[in-house]
Chain A
Amino acid sequence: DTGVSQNPRHKITKRGQNVTFRCDPISEHNRLYWYRQTLGQGPEFLTYFQNEAQLEKSRLLSDRFSAERPKGSFSTLEIQRTEQGDSAMYLCASSPRVRTSGSTYEQYFGPGTRLTVT
C-alpha cells in the first residue's frame, strides 16, 4: 500500500472554468476527508465521508463545491465556476472508521492538489 494518492498534483485554470480533483485513500480506510490550505495557514476542514455517505460539510463548502465518494472507494471534489479565491492546496486524508469507544484513528494525508486560478 502506497498511501493516499491525489491527482492531479497541480492544476492551473482560468476563472469560470470547472475543475475536478481525485483522491484515492488507503485501501480499507472507511473515512475520507477533504481539507483546503492557503499560503501560511493550517488546513481547514471541508467535508468528510464514511464509506459512501457524506456526513458533514463545512460552511466553507459553497454551492459551487461538490464532493462524491461512489462505492466508498475513491473520492472526487469538483469546483464549478472557479474564482481566484479558490486558489489553494486541496488535501485529502483517510483513516479507519471511528472506534466504538469514541476515540478516533490517525488521519493519513495525501500530497495534495495545488490549484491556481488565473
Chain B
Amino acid sequence: KQEVTQIPAALSVPEGENLVLNCSFTDSAIYNLQWFRQDPGKGLTSLLLIQSSQREQTSGRLNASLDKSSGRSTLYIAASQPGDSATYLCAPDSWGKLQFGAGTQVVVTP
C-alpha cells in the first residue's frame, strides 16, 4: 500500500523567501505525481503534474522535482507571496488512483 509523507507539516516564512516542500512515498511504481494547493474549506487546485519518466516540471514560480527510485518529490516556490498561503498536497498516481499525504500548511507573512 502506498504511504505518502510530507515534511514539514507546517511552515511559516516571511514574504520573499523561497519555499521547499518535501514529499516521500513508499511505492516507486507510479505513473505520475501531482502537486495540489488547497485553500481552507475548498477543493484542490492542481499545480503541477510530473510524469514518471520526467525529473522536473516548472510552471512560473513553481518547480517540482521527482526522484522515483528513491521515492521523493520536492516542490520549490520561488519568492513567496502572502497569496501562496495554503495547504500543499502531493499525490503519487498508482494505477490511476491518487494517494495523498496529509499536506504542508504554508503561511507567508507580509
Contact = CB atoms under 8 A, between A and B. Distances in A.
Interface of A: 6, 31, 33, 35, 40-45, 48, 56, 91, 93, 98, 102-104, 106-112, 114
Contacts, number: 60
B9 to A, nearest CB: 9
Interface residues of B, number: 26
B31 interface: yes
A43 B43 CA distance: 10
20 contacts: A6-B43, A35-B98, A35-B100, A42-B101, A42-B103, A45-B97, A48-B97, A56-B97, A91-B43, A93-B44, A103-B32, A103-B51, A104-B32, A104-B93, A104-B96, A106-B46, A107-B98, A112-B42, A112-B43, A114-B41
B97 A33 contact: yes
A18 to B, nearest CB: 24
